[in-house]
Structure 1
C-alpha cells in the first residue's frame, strides 16, 4: 500500500505530464468503445430492419438489390411485377398474408411507397414489433391520403391535415410534380429506427391515381389531364407493383414456396429470405467494419506508447530520486514495482476518464444519432466484450510499464548518485 501511495505522490509531483498522458489514453479508450458501441448497435439495427417476413419477392435480379430497394428504399427495381402474379401467390394456401409494394416517386428527397392496409397490420421490425401510429390513422378509402414516417414528419415539420405534393422520380429536386393531385396527411407513425421512418406511405390506389393520366413517363396535356375528383371515381387497381412480402402459415413451407416462385413460368421473379440477404449484405461491409475497429485499436496503442515514452523520458531525471529511495532501504524490486504502479495508475485513470467521456458523449448525441441515423445508443453498462477490451488495455499498460521498471531495476545505487557530464 505504501508503494501505491508513493506512486500517487510521484505522479502528483509531475501532475501536468501525468494528466496529459491520462487524457490521451482517455480519448483513445473513448474512441475504441464508441466504435465498438456503434458497430454493435449498427449490426443489431441492421438485422432488425425487418422481422416476421418469410419471403420478399421482386423481379429477377440480385438478392442484395432486391433487399435494398424493397426494405431500405435504396436504388430501383430492374423491372416490375404484374398484379395478377401477386394475386396468384397471395392466394396460395401456404401464404398467411401478403404486402404489395409500389415504389417510384418521392417527396423532397424521401421515398414514397404505395401499399395496402396489410402493411400496417403485418409489417414488423426489431423483435417482432408492429408498426404503431403516433397520431392519426392509416389511409382509408380516399386515394389521396398519406401516412408519414417519423423522420419525414419531424424534418419537414408536417402535422395532421397538412397537404403535400409528390414528385415524379426519386431525385432530391424534381422538376416534374404531381401538383394537380395533392395528398393529405392523415397519420404519422411512431419512430422505429428503420427506413420506415424515412418513407411516405400511400395506398396503391393513390399511386395509380397520380399516374393515371401519364403516358410513357410523361404527363398528359390539356384535355388529357384527369383531375383528383375524376380519379377518385375510376378503377384504381394497379397493373403492376415493384415487389411484395409474404408471411407463411408454416415456416416449413418457406423453401418450397421460394422454389415455386423462382420457377414461376408466368414471369421471371426472385424470392429471397430476408435474414439470409441481410447477412449477405452485412458481410459486404464487414471489411470496413473490421478496419475501423483495427484503427481504433492502434489509437489506443498510440496512447499507451505515449505513456511509455513519458515514463522512460522521466527516468533519467529521476535517477537521484531512485538513488535516495535505494539509500533509505528500498530494494530494486520496490523501484520496479513503483514504476509499474505508476503506469497502471495512468492507464486506470485513462480508462475511467474514457468511460466518462463515452457516456457523456452518448448522453449528448443520443437523440441526434437516433433521429438522423436510426441508431439507438443505450446508456448501459459495458458489455462483457467491452470489459474484456478494457482489461486488455490495463494488461497492455502493465506490460509497457515493465519496460521502464526493468531499466530502473538494473540501475545501481552508485549510478544513481554519480553525475554524468
Structure 2
C-alpha cells in the first residue's frame, strides 16, 4: 500500500522529482568521479617509476633524491663520481644500472644525459616501457629524444635543432654544439614528458670548452675534434639500479649507504614515492571534502523540495488522515519517497560515472597520461549508494514530521 502510494505520488510530481533525482545523480557522479580521478592519480604517481629497485645519488634526503632524479625538481647536493658509479655497477647484486646526468636545460625543460639503457629499463604504470611515436632513439652524439610535452609546447618535429642552455634559467647557451631532434616519445604522464634526453657523452661534449661552470674565453672546439675525444664522464647525478634478486635489495642498499669512498644514498623508489605523496597528497582530501559537500547540498535540496511540496500536498495529507491513515504511515510514505529518489539518483550517478569513464579514458590517457581503470563496481560504490539512500531517509524525516503535525482541519480549510 505504502509503496503504491509513494510511486503514484512521485509520478504525479514527475518534473520536480526528476530534477531532484538529476541533482542527486550529478552529485554522486561528481563524488565518484573525483574518487576515480584521485585513485587514478595516486596510482599513476606511484607508478611514475616501476621496475627500479634502488635510486642512488649523493647523500641528502630520500625525497630530495627522488625529486631531482625522477621528477627533475631541484638540484643535487653533490654528484656521484664515475669511479663510485663503476664500483656499484660491478657489484654482484646489480642486474642493470642506468646513469643520469642533470644540470642543463632547454627553454625551462630539463636536459638529462643517460645511456640507451634508460629506454630499456625505465618503466612506468606497472611495467610499461617508453615508446617512440616518431623518429628513433638517438644514434649520433648530438641527437636528442624529447618528451611529448616538450614537442607539443615548443612545436618540435624530427630534425629540428635544439640549443641547450648551461644550467637552469640561464642565458648562456651551448650555441656552438647544437643538437638535432631524432625522436619524440609517447605521452607517459611522467616527468619524462617534460625532459630533453641526450647521451651521457653528449653532456661531456658540450662542456669541453667549459671550466668551473663558465666558458673558456675564445675557445671553441670543432665537433669533428670532439667526436674523437674521450668523453667518459667524470661524475653523474644519480643512477637507477635493478637487482638480480629482490632479496638482495636491502643488502645492496645498506652497502651503498655505508660506501666508504664517498657519502652516497640509496633509496627504495616506492617508499620515497609514498613519503612524497604524504606531503603533496593533501589536495585529495580537499577534493573529497568538496565533492562530499556537493552530495550533502543535493540531499538538502531534496529536503527543500519535499518541504516545498508539502504546501501543495496539505489536502492530500489531510485526506489520508481523514481516511484513517496513521501518522506513522504518512511518515513512512514520505521517507520511502525520499529513499526511492535517492536510490534512483545514486544508481543513475554510478551509471554516469562509468559512461564517462568509457568516453573519457582514451582522451585522458592520451592528453594527460593519467590512466583511469574501468573496473567492476566495488564495495566503495555500493557503500556510496547505501550512504546516499540512508542520508535521503534521514533528511526526509524533518518534512515528514511536519506532515505528521498537519491536522485534518488545517488540510481541509480553504484559505482566502
Cα distance, 1:378 vs structure 2:
4.3
2-structure distance, mates of 1:358, 1:419: 48
Whether the 8 Å CA contact 2:7–2:337 is kept in 1: the answer is no
Q: 2:192 aligns with which of 193, 196, 206?
A: 196
**Alignment correspondent of 2:263:** 268
Whether the 8 Å CA contact 1:144–1:202 is kept in 2: the answer is yes
Structure 2, unaligned runs of 5 or more: none
Spell out, residue by residue over 1:134-161, the C-alpha distance to the aligned partner (whole angstroms, 9 max, x if none): 2332222x21011122332233332322
1-structure distance, mates of 2:303, 2:87: 70
Cα distance, 1:231 vs structure 2:
1.8
Q: 2:305 aligns with which of 310, 319, 329?
A: 310
2-structure distance, mates of 1:200, 1:38: 28
1-structure distance, mates of 2:241, 2:333: 67
Whether the 8 Å CA contact 2:134–2:183 is kept in 1: the answer is yes
Q: How does 1:48-63 map to 2 (within 5 A)?
A: 48-63=47-62
CA pair 93-379 structure 1, distance change in 2 beyond 3 A: closer
Cα distance, 1:260 vs structure 2:
1.2
**Alignment correspondent of 1:105:** 104
**Alignment correspondent of 1:319:** 314
Q: 1:179 aligns with which of 175, 178, 193?
A: 175
Cα distance, 1:367 vs structure 2:
5.8
Q: 1:11 aligns with which of 9, 13, 18?
A: 13
Cα distance, 1:289 vs structure 2:
2.2
Spell out, residue by residue over 1:269-318, the C-alpha distance to the aligned partner (whole angstroms, 9 max, x if none): 11111111111111223443223312321221122112112212332442
Cα distance, 1:413 vs structure 2:
2.4
1-structure distance, mates of 2:328, 2:179: 80
Q: Secondary structure in 2 aligned to 1:376?
A: coil
CA pair 384-159 structure 1, distance change in 2 beyond 3 A: farther
Runs of at least 4 residues off by over 6 Å: none
Whether the 8 Å CA contact 1:106–1:167 is kept in 2: the answer is yes
Whether the 8 Å CA contact 2:176–2:220 is kept in 1: the answer is no
TM-score by length of 2: 0.90
**Alignment correspondent of 1:34:** 33
**Alignment correspondent of 1:2:** 4
CA pair 371-132 structure 1, distance change in 2 beyond 3 A: closer
Whether the 8 Å CA contact 2:71–2:191 is kept in 1: the answer is yes
1-structure distance, mates of 2:229, 2:99: 20
Q: 1:247 aligns with which of 242, 264, 277?
A: 242
Structure 1, unaligned runs of 5 or more: none
Spell out, residue by residue over 1:222-244, the C-alpha distance to the aligned partner (whole angstroms, 9 max, x if none): 2x122333322211111111000
Whether the 8 Å CA contact 1:7–1:339 is kept in 2: the answer is no
Q: 1:231 aligns with which of 226, 230, 236?
A: 226
**Alignment correspondent of 1:149:** 147
Q: Secondary structure in 1 aligned to 2:91?
A: coil
Q: Secondary structure in 1 aligned to 2:101?
A: strand
TM-score by length of 1: 0.89
1-structure distance, mates of 2:376, 2:74: 38
Spell out, residue by residue over 1:75-117, the C-alpha distance to the aligned partner (whole angstroms, 9 max, x if none): 1111111111101111111111110000112222221110011
1-structure distance, mates of 2:412, 2:342: 31
Q: Does 1:385 align with 2:350?
A: no
**Alignment correspondent of 1:221:** 217
Q: Secondary structure in 1 aligned to 2:346?
A: helix
Cα distance, 1:257 vs structure 2:
1.4
CA pair 384-243 structure 1, distance change in 2 beyond 3 A: same
CA pair 166-94 structure 1, distance change in 2 beyond 3 A: same
Cα distance, 1:366 vs structure 2:
4.9
2-structure distance, mates of 1:113, 1:397: 55
Counting matched residue pairs gives 414
2-structure distance, mates of 1:227, 1:363: 55
**Alignment correspondent of 2:158:** 160
Whether the 8 Å CA contact 2:343–2:385 is kept in 1: the answer is no
Q: 1:291 aligns with which of 280, 286, 290?
A: 286
Cα distance, 1:124 vs structure 2:
1.6
